[in-house]
Structure 1
Amino acid sequence: MLDAMMRRLIDPPLARMGRALAMRGVSADAVTLAGLVLGLSAAALIALGAPVLALVPLLASRLADGLDGAIARASGKTDFGGYLDITCDFLFYGAIPLGFVLADPAANGAAGAALLTSFYFNGATFLGFAILAERRSMRTEARGVKSLYFTGGLLEGTETIVFFVVLCLWPEGFVPLAWGFGGLCFFTAASRVVLARRVFPDE
């Protein structure tokens, strides 16, 4: 819901940084992988019981996630780069809830499993829509220039990052927050299915 607005704010400075890094020979794929390492480090810190400390690599990983696209646009986008980016994003999004489950399996296990299930469903509807959109040559830049067609929804990347930050600051609230956010993810995914039914009618 907030991604389009955030892109208007963050794209200009990211574009400048991306051009500067591209001129120095930094590759987009390297930044993507660095962002993944930072994100997995955040998940590991959460699992070890240091969620506040995990905020540093978590936010740094999201900066890298924005920079890799800016570098790619400056140096030339590749299909593999887009594939690597979305794959690393999905791994990051799953790793953070897993960190909270590992930190306290007895308390967080059920809520964490439900949250990951909602992520799985939401991700499937997102990628399935993108595949059909590509087949029909649909394009949008509402959420920045992407390798895939990005559909909107109640919950998008911005909301998910805010959710992760809140979890790190209030880990004791993981269970109710995970159930609530997971429910909204299910709603977002179901809404995307309804949208797909309208956009991709039977031929």
Structure 2
Amino acid sequence: MLDGAVRRRLDPLLDRLGVALVRRGVRADTITIVGLGLGLAAAGLIAYRFYLAGAVMILLSRLCDGLDGAVARASRRTDFGGFLDIVLDFAFYGAVPLAFIVADPSANGLAGAFLLFSFYVNGSSFLAYAIMAEKRAMTTSVRGAKSLYFTTGLAEATETIIVFLAFCLFPAWFPPLAAVFAVVCLYTAVSRIVLARLSFLEPR
């Protein structure tokens, strides 16, 4: 929901940084992998209850997630780059709730499992929609130039990052925050299913 507004403000700065990195020979795939490494480091810190340090690493990881696209736009976009980006993004999104479960299984286990379930359903709806959209040669630029079809929703990357940071700032609130965000993610998946019915019911 917030991704569009955030991108309009951040993309010009990221694009300038992307051009500078390309001039230094930095590749988009390298930044994508570094971003995952930072995200996994954040998860490790959270698992050991270093929550504020984990929050910093989350921000650095997501900076890389924005920079890899900027570098790709300034050099050459590839289907593999788009594939790697989405797979490693999902790995990051799964690692952070898992880290909170590890940090306090008795308090966070049920809510964390519910959140991971909602991520699984929401991610599946996102990718399945993208596959069907590709079969119908559908295109969209609502979230900028992407390697696959992006459908918008109530729970997008910006909302997820905000919630992850809230987890780190208020770790005792993880169970209610995770449960509420899980419901938001499931609502997003249901709304995408409704959109798919409207878009894909007729034969190609």
Note whether the superposition's TM-score is higher than 0.5.
yes
2:127 corresponding residue in structure 1: 127
Shift of residue 75 of structure 1?
A: 0.9
Query: Does residue 150 of structure 1 match 2:145?
Result: no
1:172 corresponding residue in structure 2: 172
Q: Which runs of 5+ in 2 are unaligned?
A: none
For 1:95-136, what per-residue CA distance to the aligned partner results, in whole angstroms no more than 9, with x for missing partners? 000000000011111110000000000000000011111111
2:198 corresponding residue in structure 1: 198
Give the 5 Å matches for 1:34-49.
34-49=34-49
In the comparison of the two structures, how many residue pairs are matched? 203
* Cα separation, 1, equivalents of 2:142 and 2:16: 19
* Cα separation, 2, equivalents of 1:15 and 1:140: 20
* Cα separation, 2, equivalents of 1:108 and 1:182: 13
* Cα separation, 2, equivalents of 1:100 and 1:138: 38
Give the 5 Å matches for 1:2-151.
2-151=2-151
Comparing 28-37 with 139-148, greater Cα deviation is found at 139-148
Q: Which runs of 4+ in 1 moved over 6 A?
A: none
Shift of residue 202 of structure 1?
A: 3.1
1:186 corresponding residue in structure 2: 186
Q: What is the TM-score normalised by the length of structure 2?
A: 0.98
Q: Which runs of 5+ in 1 are unaligned?
A: none
* Cα separation, 2, equivalents of 1:35 and 1:23: 20
What value does the CA root-mean-square deviation take over the aligned residues? 0.7
For 1:128-154, what per-residue CA distance to the aligned partner results, in whole angstroms no more than 9, with x for missing partners? 011111111111111121111110111
Q: What is the TM-score normalised by the length of structure 1?
A: 0.98
% same residue: 59
